[in-house]
Structure 1
Amino acid sequence: MNYKILCSDLDGTLLSTKSDVSEATITEIYRIKEKIKVVLVSARMPKSMTYLQERLGIEHEPIICYNGALVLDQNKELNSVTIAISTLKSVYQLAEKHNIKLGLYYKDEWYVEESSERVEKEINYTKAYPTFRKTTDTFYDWKTRKISGAHKIMLMGTKETCDAIYSQLEDKFHKDIAIYRSNDTLIELAPKSVSKLSAIQLLLSQNQTLEDIIAFGDNYNDLEMLKQVGCGVAVANAREEVKAIANFVTASNTEHGVAKFIKEHVIV
């Protein structure tokens, strides 16, 4: 297989642990990176991706953060789309009714009201640290600094509270917000007008098309990307819906599935 760009999701896909890539993955990326552009595509914030770029020797390449809401080429901002503060306030009011806590993200800023088991896991997994303060204080601060809104909202609850709020979020915000169920206790919200695929399209040069791309993923927010590129590859631990639309299914992330597929199929 000959491709010009390789795009990969991180959590559950390229990462063999919760926070790092394996030596097998590093070896394969180093083998191809001079001939194929390698782009990391994630719901993570920039600082939680750049340390992985350094591990893979691709820090000179762009990164797609927050499911496409923020696209960076080193220090240059290629695209930035946020959820308006007015919408954030409505989400906050609904979350309060369900006793669900919010994580608010803007560029490399992350705000939560208090620590929790979930917040500590995020710190451990992403190597980023939040600022602890009231959500209403964050709204006021952003308005004062003329920040338009959040690149991502993370709702942190229990399975029961997330089950209860999910349909309400879809009913009220489906026109403006993309809603992803990360797991039983996490829901991620991103601007509806962008996606991993739309961000990838921004990076294509005049002589490139989506057919020139091989992409790897595991979750619902990878569906569109894997379906539209030249070759979409799901890891074995991916959602069944993702595996169903993929061109290929490789080994699981913990078995270094991306590295195995690159080694066996990607020619440079």
Structure 2
Amino acid sequence: MNYKILCSDLDGTLLTTKSDVSDFTITEINRLKPQVKVILVSARMPSAMTYLQQDLGIEEQPIICYNGALVLDGEKELSSVHIGTEHLQLIYELAEANETKLGLYYNNEWYVEMDSERVQKEIKYTKTTPIFRPTAETLSDWKNRNIGAHKIMLMSTKENADALYPILDEQLGDHLNLYRSNDTLIEVAPKSVSKLSAIKSLLQEDESLTDVISFGDNYNDIEMLQYSGHGVAVGNAREEVKAIADAVTLPNIENGVADYIKKHLVI
């Protein structure tokens, strides 16, 4: 197989642990990168991705952050779509009524109201640090700066998330992408962008989606895998992702991406 571009999700896909790529993965990416662009595609914020770029030696490539809401090439912002203040305020009010806390993200800014086990996990796994302050203060600040959220993370209990999700979907589903990342977390992102739309925006004149091989594990990877020239699901992927993939490789903890590269991508 010969491709010009390799796009990979991070958590549960390229990352062998919760926060790092393996030496095997680094070796295989190093073998590819003289002839194949390697682009990281994630729901993460930029600073939670750039250290992985450095580990892989691909700092010269762009990164797709927040599931496509922010695309960066080094310090240069190639595209940015955020959730507006009117939707932010409504989400905040619905979350407060549901005893749910918000994590608010804009570029490399991450704000939470209070520390928690979930916040500590993200600090550990993404090697980033939030700013602790009241959500109302963040929303006021962002309104004054005329910016919004590239991503919102709603952190709750399973019972509260079960109750809140359909309410959010009914009131905001036409305007925003809602994504249940696990039983206690709901992610909210702009509707007009996706991992696939961001990949398309990076294609050069002599490139098309058929030149792309992509790897993923979760619902937000389905579109990327479906429309790439070759979409590969890791062995730990959700069954719905495996069902639409062109191939399935080993689980992420068994170096599934690197193993597939070694066996199938000849340079």
Question: 1:108-127 alignment to 2 at 5 Å?
Answer: 108-127=108-127
Deviates more, 1:170-179 or 1:104-113: 170-179
CA displacement at 1:146 relative to structure 2 = 2.5
* 1:141 lines up with 2:147 in the alignment: no
Q: Which segments of structure 1 move beyond 6 Å, counting only runs of 4 or more?
A: none
Find out whether 1:74 has 2:84 as its counterpart.
Answer: no
Q: Which amino acid aligns with 2:30?
A: Y
Within a 5 Å distance, the mapping from 1:30-179 to structure 2 comes to: 30-147=30-147, 149-179=148-178
Q: Residues 144-174 of structure 1, C-alpha deviation per residue, up to 9 Å, x if partnerless?
A: 2222x10000000111111111111111111
Q: Distance in 2 between matches of 1:44 and 1:116?
A: 19
State the superposition RMSD in angstroms.
Answer: 0.6
* Partner residue, 1:206: 205
With normalisation by structure 2, the TM-score equals 0.99
Aligned length: 267
Which residue of structure 2 aligns with residue 182 of structure 1?
181
Letter in 2 for 1:201: K
Distance 1:253 1:159 in 2: 26
1:27 aligns with 2:32: no
For 1:112 and 1:47, the matched residues in 2 are separated by 17
User: How far is 1:76 from its partner?
Assistant: 1.0
Deviations 1:105-139 (A, max 9, x none): 00000000000000000000101100000000001
Which amino acid in 2 is paired with 1:121? K
For 1:97 and 1:243, how far apart are their aligned partners in 2?
A: 37
TM-score with structure 1 setting the length: 0.99
Q: Percent identity over the alignment?
A: 66
Q: CA deviation at 1:208?
A: 0.7
